[in-house]
Structure 1
Amino acid sequence: MNRFQVRKVAVLGAGVMGAQIAAHLVNVNVPVILFDLPAKEGPKNGVVDKAIAHLKKIKPAPLADASMADRIQAANYEEHLDLLAGCDLVIEAIAERMDWKLDLYRRIAPHVAPHAILASNTSGLSINAMAAALPEAMRPRFCGIHFFNPPRYMYLLELIATDLSDATVLDQLETFATSTLGKGVVRAKDSPNFIANRAGVGSILSVMTQAEKFGLTYDVVDDLTGKKLGRASSGTFRTADVVGLDTMAHVIQTLEDKLPSDPFKALYARPAVLKTLLDAGALGAKNGAGFFKKVGRDILRFDPATGDYVPGGAKADPLIDRIIKKPAAERLKLLRESSHPQAQFLWAILRDSFHYAAVHLEAIAETARDLDFAMRWGFGNRQGPFEIWQDAGWAQVAGWISEDIAAGKTLCDAPLPAWVSSGPVAEAGGVHTPAGSWSPSRKAFVPRSDLAVYRRQHFPENVLGSAAVDPLTAGTEVFRSPELRVWTLDGEVLIATITCKLNLISQEVTQGLAKAVELAESGYQGLVIWSPGSNGAPNETFFSAGANLEGLMPVFMSQGAAGIAPVEKELQDLMLRVRYASVPVVAAIRGMALGGGCELSIYCARRVQAMESYMGLVEMGVGLLPGGGGLTYIARRASEMAQAVPGSDLVACLKEGFTAAATAKVGTSALENRHLGFALWSDVIVPNKDELLFVAINEAKAMMASGYRPPQRARIQVAGRNGIATIKASLVGMRDGQFVTGHDFHIASLMAEVVCGGDIDAGHSVSEEYLMALERQHFCALLTHPKTQERIMGLLQTGKPVRN
Structure 2
Amino acid sequence: MSKIMQAAPNTQRAVPKIKQAAVIGAGVMGAAIAGHLANVGIRTTLLDIVPRELSDKEKAKGLTLEDRAVRNRLAQAGKDRLQKEKPSPLYHKRVADLITVGNLEDDLDRLKEADWIIEAVVENLQIKQSLFSQIEKVWTPGTVVSSNTSGISIEKMVSGCSEDFRSHFLGTHFFNPPRYMKLLEIIPTSDTKPEIVDEMKAFAESVLGKGVVLAKDTPNFIANRIGVYGLLITLQKMMEEGLGPDEVDAVTGRAMGRPKSATFRTLDLVGLDTFVHVADNVRENVDDPEEQKAFEVPEVLRKMVANGWLGTKSDQGFFKKVKGEKGKEIHALDLQTMEYRPRKKLKAPSLEMAKRAKSLPEQLKALVYAKDPAGELAWYITKKVLLYSAARIPEIADDIVSVDRAMKWGFNWELGPFEIWDAIGVEKSVARMREEGETIPLLVEELLASGAKSFYEKSPMEVKAFQIGGRFSEVEEHEKVISLAQLKEQGKVIHSNRGASLIDIGDDVACLEFHSPKNAIAGDIIQMINTAVKEVSANYRGLVIGNQGGNFCVGANLMLILMEAQDQNWPELDLMVRQFQKTMGSLRYMDKPVVAAPFAMTLGGGVEISLPCDRIQAAAETYMGLVEPGVGLIPGGGGNKEMLIRWTEGIDPKDTMALRSVVNKIFEIIGTAKVATSAMEAKEYKFIREYDGITINQDHLIYDAKQVVLALEKAGYRPPLPKKIPVVGETGYNTLRLGAYGLLQSGYISDHDYKIATKLAYVLAGGTLPEGTLVDEQYLLDIEREAFLSLAGEPKSQQRMQYMLAKNKPLRN
Which TM-score bucket, shorter chain as reference?
over 0.9
More displaced stretch, 382-391 vs 608-617: 382-391
Of the candidates 341, 348, 352, which is equivalent to residue 322 of structure 1? 352
* Aligned pairs (5 A) from 1:88-99: 88-99=115-126
Of the candidates 375, 392, 400, which is equivalent to residue 360 of structure 1? 392
Of the candidates 463, 482, 485, which is equivalent to residue 458 of structure 1? 482
Q: Is the 8 A contact 1:367 1:446 kept in 2?
A: no
Q: Is the 8 A contact 1:492 1:526 kept in 2?
A: yes
Q: Which residue of 1 aligns with 2:292?
A: 265
More displaced stretch, 746-755 vs 524-533: 524-533
Supply the distance in 1 between the matched residues of 2:404 and 2:40 (Cα, whole angstroms): 27
Consecutive unaligned residues of structure 1, counting only runs of 5 or more, are: 407-414, 461-468, 534-540
| CA-CA distance at 1:623 after TM superposition | 1.1
- Code of the aligned partner of 1:456: K
- Code of the aligned partner of 1:308: E
Q: Is the 8 A contact 2:204 2:212 kept in 1?
A: yes
Supply the distance in 2 between the matched residues of 1:497 and 1:650 (Cα, whole angstroms): 37
Q: Which residue of 2 aligns with 1:622?
A: 631
Q: Which residue of 2 aligns with 1:311?
A: 342
Q: Is the 8 A contact 1:230 1:381 kept in 2?
A: yes
| CA-CA distance at 1:330 after TM superposition | 7.2
Q: Which residue of 1 aligns with 2:755?
A: 746
Q: 1:28 to 1:475 in 2, by over 3 A?
A: farther
Q: Which residue of 1 aligns with 2:746?
A: 737
| CA-CA distance at 1:530 after TM superposition | 1.1
Supply the distance in 1 between the matched residues of 2:50 and 2:102 (Cα, whole angstroms): 8
Alignment pair present for 1:531 and 2:547? yes
TM-score of the two chains, using structure 1 as the length reference: 0.93
Q: Which residue of 2 aligns with 1:436?
A: 464
Supply the distance in 2 between the matched residues of 1:331 and 1:545 (Cα, whole angstroms): 25
Alignment pair present for 1:8 and 2:35? no
| CA-CA distance at 1:559 after TM superposition | 6.1
| CA-CA distance at 1:691 after TM superposition | 0.7
Consecutive unaligned residues of structure 2, counting only runs of 5 or more, are: 1-9, 53-64
Supply the distance in 2 between the matched residues of 1:473 and 1:323 (Cα, whole angstroms): 29
Alignment pair present for 1:18 and 2:30? yes
More displaced stretch, 718-727 vs 43-52: 43-52
Q: Which residue of 2 aligns with 1:604?
A: 613
Q: Secondary structure at the match of 1:420?
A: helix
| CA-CA distance at 1:554 after TM superposition | 5.9
Q: Which residue of 1 aligns with 2:176?
A: 149
More displaced stretch, 787-796 vs 290-299: 787-796
| CA-CA distance at 1:425 after TM superposition | 6.5
Alignment pair present for 1:256 and 2:280? no
Q: Secondary structure at the match of 1:607?
A: strand
More displaced stretch, 742-751 vs 415-424: 415-424
Alignment pair present for 1:585 and 2:573? no
| CA-CA distance at 1:583 after TM superposition | 2.0
Q: Secondary structure at the match of 2:535?
A: helix
* 1:270-295 superposed Cα distances (whole Å, 9 cap, x missing partner): 11221121121111111111111112
Q: 1:571 to 1:738 in 2, by over 3 A?
A: same
Q: Is the 8 A contact 1:584 1:710 kept in 2?
A: yes
Of the candidates 704, 710, 726, which is equivalent to residue 701 of structure 1? 710
Q: Is the 8 A contact 2:351 2:367 kept in 1?
A: no
Q: Is the 8 A contact 1:48 1:74 kept in 2?
A: yes
* 1:71-120 superposed Cα distances (whole Å, 9 cap, x missing partner): 11223222222222222211111111111111111111132222211111
Q: Which residue of 2 aligns with 1:479?
A: 495
Q: 1:707 to 1:332 in 2, by over 3 A?
A: closer
Q: Which residue of 2 aligns with 1:35?
A: 47
More displaced stretch, 297-306 vs 39-48: 39-48
Q: 1:603 to 1:367 in 2, by over 3 A?
A: same
Supply the distance in 1 between the matched residues of 2:367 and 2:348 (Cα, whole angstroms): 14
Supply the distance in 1 between the matched residues of 2:719 and 2:621 (Cα, whole angstroms): 28
| CA-CA distance at 1:262 after TM superposition | 4.7
Q: Is the 8 A contact 2:353 2:367 kept in 1?
A: yes
* 1:573-608 superposed Cα distances (whole Å, 9 cap, x missing partner): 122221222222100112221111101101111000
Of the candidates 475, 486, 497, which is equivalent to residue 513 of structure 2? 497
More displaced stretch, 219-228 vs 188-197: 219-228
More displaced stretch, 294-303 vs 591-600: 294-303
| CA-CA distance at 1:511 after TM superposition | 2.8
Q: Is the 8 A contact 2:653 2:726 kept in 1?
A: no
Q: 1:665 to 1:144 in 2, by over 3 A?
A: same
More displaced stretch, 199-208 vs 50-59: 50-59
* 1:413-464 superposed Cα distances (whole Å, 9 cap, x missing partner): xx22233134567521122234632333x654343347xxx1111129xxxx
Q: Is the 8 A contact 2:119 2:148 kept in 1?
A: yes
Q: 1:641 to 1:787 in 2, by over 3 A?
A: farther
Q: Secondary structure at the match of 2:454?
A: coil
Q: 1:448 to 1:113 in 2, by over 3 A?
A: farther
Q: Is the 8 A contact 1:586 1:605 kept in 2?
A: yes
* Aligned pairs (5 A) from 1:259-408: 259-296=286-323, 297-312=328-343, 314-325=344-355, 326=357, 340-405=372-437
Q: Secondary structure at the match of 2:597?
A: strand
| CA-CA distance at 1:648 after TM superposition | 4.2
TM-score of the two chains, using structure 2 as the length reference: 0.92
More displaced stretch, 167-176 vs 391-400: 391-400
- Code of the aligned partner of 1:55: L
Supply the distance in 1 between the matched residues of 2:370 and 2:491 (Cα, whole angstroms): 45
More displaced stretch, 500-509 vs 96-105: 500-509
| CA-CA distance at 1:470 after TM superposition | 2.3
| CA-CA distance at 1:643 after TM superposition | 2.9
More displaced stretch, 682-691 vs 27-36: 27-36
Q: Secondary structure at the match of 2:584?
A: helix
* Aligned pairs (5 A) from 1:210-249: 210-249=237-276
- Code of the aligned partner of 1:346: A
Alignment pair present for 1:139 and 2:166? yes
Q: Is the 8 A contact 2:252 2:263 kept in 1?
A: yes
- Code of the aligned partner of 1:30: I
Supply the distance in 1 between the matched residues of 2:205 and 2:659 (Cα, whole angstroms): 43
Of the candidates 667, 671, 679, which is equivalent to residue 658 of structure 1? 667
Of the candidates 70, 87, 90, which is equivalent to residue 60 of structure 1? 87
Supply the distance in 1 between the matched residues of 2:653 and 2:223 (Cα, whole angstroms): 53
Alignment pair present for 1:46 and 2:101? no
More displaced stretch, 303-312 vs 348-357: 303-312
Q: Is the 8 A contact 1:585 1:700 kept in 2?
A: yes
Supply the distance in 2 between the matched residues of 1:600 and 1:324 (Cα, whole angstroms): 35
Supply the distance in 2 between the matched residues of 1:238 and 1:705 (Cα, whole angstroms): 52
Q: Secondary structure at the match of 1:35?
A: strand
* 1:110-166 superposed Cα distances (whole Å, 9 cap, x missing partner): 322222111111100111112322211111111111000000000111011111111
Q: Which residue of 2 aligns with 1:507?
A: 523
Q: Secondary structure at the match of 1:73?
A: strand
Of the candidates 578, 583, 586, which is equivalent to residue 569 of structure 1? 578
**Percent identity for Structure 1 against Structure 2:** 35
Q: Is the 8 A contact 2:391 2:441 kept in 1?
A: yes
Supply the distance in 2 between the matched residues of 1:666 and 1:275 (Cα, whole angstroms): 42
- Code of the aligned partner of 1:795: M
* Aligned pairs (5 A) from 1:783-794: 783-794=792-803
Q: Secondary structure at the match of 1:119?
A: strand
Supply the distance in 2 between the matched residues of 1:300 and 1:499 (Cα, whole angstroms): 38
Q: 1:114 to 1:401 in 2, by over 3 A?
A: same
